[in-house]
Amino acid sequence: MIRGLTIQPASLAVFLAFSFSVMAEETPSTPTKQEGTAPAGMSAEQEKMMKAMEDAGKVTENHMALDYLVGNWSTKTKWWQAPGTKPEETEGKTHFESILGGRFVRETVDGTMMGKKFQGIGYLGYDNMKKKYITLWMDSMATGVFTLEGDSPDKGKTIKSSGEFLCPITGKEKFIRSVMKKVGKNEVVYEHYEKDPGGKEFKALEVAYKRVTSG
């Protein structure tokens, strides 16, 4: 997998070009550094700004730790509507692909839930600024999105995250906690926890992934 460690998106180039032009107008010009040390005409402040942006966008070992997900997987899902109830069990499939130069993996899910076709799209990556793993999720059962942030105690093998989403039943923010664990090279387990009306945590979702193909 080819990763662009220093190549920035077009939008960043536009942003930097604009920022540099503004800074040039607001600050006195500085002598051009010797060739090979910085682009001609770039001030020390501009050079510092460029480095900060590059560092924020670097692909690190935290991103590469997610490479094992890339490929096609079969899924077995258990979903509990409330504590102590019998879970609904379904099967499906999901595809993970690396995007944006290895900065994120995108998951595309096809399955069923509550007797209806279910589709979902998720993005998992690592935010260099927050120093957190981040997840963005949306699916065909809602029109909103929710985000999670978390850490990994074992270099990406286990990712523990938490966040909130607006519950469609109560109309209130609902806390969720998730654990995504690499069980082996070809197995992953995802667990999602919520709280009952009394505030007691319970497992609301479990997805067991088994690899079908790599890449």
Residues sharing a CB contact under 8 Å with residue 23, sequence separation 6 or more, in sequence order: 43, 45, 46, 49
pLDDT bracket for residue 46 (50, 70, 90):
confident
Q: Is residue 1 part of a domain?
A: no
> Is 174 found in the same domain as 99?
yes
Q: 177 and 103, same structural domain?
A: yes
Report the percentage of the chain scoring pLDDT > 90. Answer: 61
Burial of 109 (0-12, 13-18, 19+ CB in 10 A): buried
pTM of this prediction?
Answer: 0.78
- Residues 140 and 156 placed together within one structural domain of the fold: yes
Query: 4 lies in a domain?
Result: no
Same domain, 198 and 114: yes
Per-residue pLDDT tens digits for 184-209: 889 999 999 999 888 899 999 999 99
How many beta carbons lie within 10 A of that of residue 13, not counting itself?
11
